[in-house]
Each structure stands twice: as structure tokens, then as C-alpha cells.
């Protein structure tokens, strides 16, 4: 095993560990802030459609936080279709919006990093 293979392997390990940390942070947010987020966004059809997921155990809560973070991070699509209330979005506290946006962008970054590392590892360039 070459040094570059070890480096790519360790980087994959770091990304996987970061993904577990991301899941922990998202679940913490789901269990501590979910009622407050749903209360502020109660007039948003796109979020209320997903609201029953909060009764789906940890995976349902994780999916709900992911959906809310996507809607808060990229509101344009939902605003154009009338599924998101601008007043509700603006009433959501800024620290929560910032955390949701960080969650959304970090999961995209982790998924892209893992895909790139796997592509590099599978390409045969490291042999």
C-alpha cells in the first residue's frame, strides 16, 4: 500500500467521522429545536407536508431537519411556487437559519468530498 493510498484512506475516514458528527448535530437540533422551528414555519405548506416525519423516530426527525434546512437554505424555489411564507421565513431566528444553512452546505461538502475520494481511490491512479 502506497503513501497516497494511505492518505486517501485516512481522508475517507475523516469524512465518514465528520458525517457521523453531522448526524449527531442534526439529531440534537431535531430533538431540541424542532417544536420552535415548526411553530415559526406553521404557514409554510412545504414544511407542514413534512411535519408528520417528527413522529417517525430518529430517522424521521433527521429527514425533517434535512428538509427544513434545504427549504431555508434555498427558499427561492419554494417561494416561487407559493409553498413557503416569506413572513414565516423572516420570523425564524437568525441563529437557527444560520445553523440550518451550515448543516445544508456541510452535508453537500461531505458528500462531494466522499465522492471525489472514492473516485480517486477507484480510478487506479494511486497504484
For residue range 87-121, list pLDDT tens digits in order. Answer: 988 999 999 999 999 999 999 999 999 999 999 88
> Which region holds residue 118: left if phi is over 0, alpha if psi is between -120 and 50, else beta?
alpha
Average pLDDT of span 72-98: 91
State yes or no: pLDDT of 60 exceeds 80. Answer: yes
State yes or no: pLDDT of 85 exceeds 90. Answer: no
Query: Cα separation of 69 and 47, whole Å?
Result: 10
Query: Any long-range contacts for 59-66 (C-beta under 8 Å, 24+ apart)?
Result: 61/27, 61/30, 61/31, 61/34, 62/23, 62/26, 62/27, 62/30, 64/30, 64/34, 65/26, 65/27, 65/29, 65/30, 65/34, 65/100, 65/103, 66/26, 66/103, 66/104, 66/107
Closest CA to 89 of 104, 68, 103: 68
The pLDDT of residue 127: 65
* pTM of the predicted structure, to 2 decimals: 0.85
Give residue for cell 465522492. 115
Q: Where are the domains of the chain?
A: 3-123
The pLDDT of residue 82: 87
Higher pLDDT, 7 or 106: 106
Query: Cα separation of 67 and 49, whole Å?
Result: 10
Average pLDDT of span 11-19: 96
State yes or no: pLDDT of 124 exceeds 90. Answer: no
State yes or no: pLDDT of 126 exceeds 70. Answer: no
* Sequential DSSP letters for 26-46: HHHHHHHHHHHHHHHTTT-HH
The pLDDT of residue 25: 96
Amino acid at each position: 500500500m502506497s503513501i497516497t493510498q494511505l492518505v486517501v484512506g485516512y481522508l475517507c475516514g475523516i469524512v465518514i467521522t465528520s458525517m457521523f458528527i453531522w448526524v449527531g448535530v442534526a439529531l440534537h437540533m431535531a430533538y431540541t429545536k424542532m417544536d420552535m422551528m415548526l411553530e415559526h414555519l406553521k404557514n409554510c405548506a412545504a414544511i407542514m407536508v413534512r411535519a408528520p416525519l417528527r413522529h417517525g423516530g430518529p430517522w424521521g426527525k433527521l429527514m425533517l431537519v434535512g428538509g427544513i434546512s434545504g427549504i431555508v437554505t434555498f427558499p427561492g424555489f419554494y417561494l416561487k411556487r407559493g409553498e413557503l411564507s416569506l413572513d414565516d421565513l423572516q420570523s425564524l431566528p437568525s441563529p437557527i437559519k444560520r445553523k440550518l444553512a451550515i448543516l445544508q452546505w456541510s452535508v453537500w461538502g461531505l458528500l462531494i468530498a466522499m465522492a471525489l475520494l472514492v473516485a480517486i481511490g477507484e480510478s487506479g491512479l494511486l497504484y
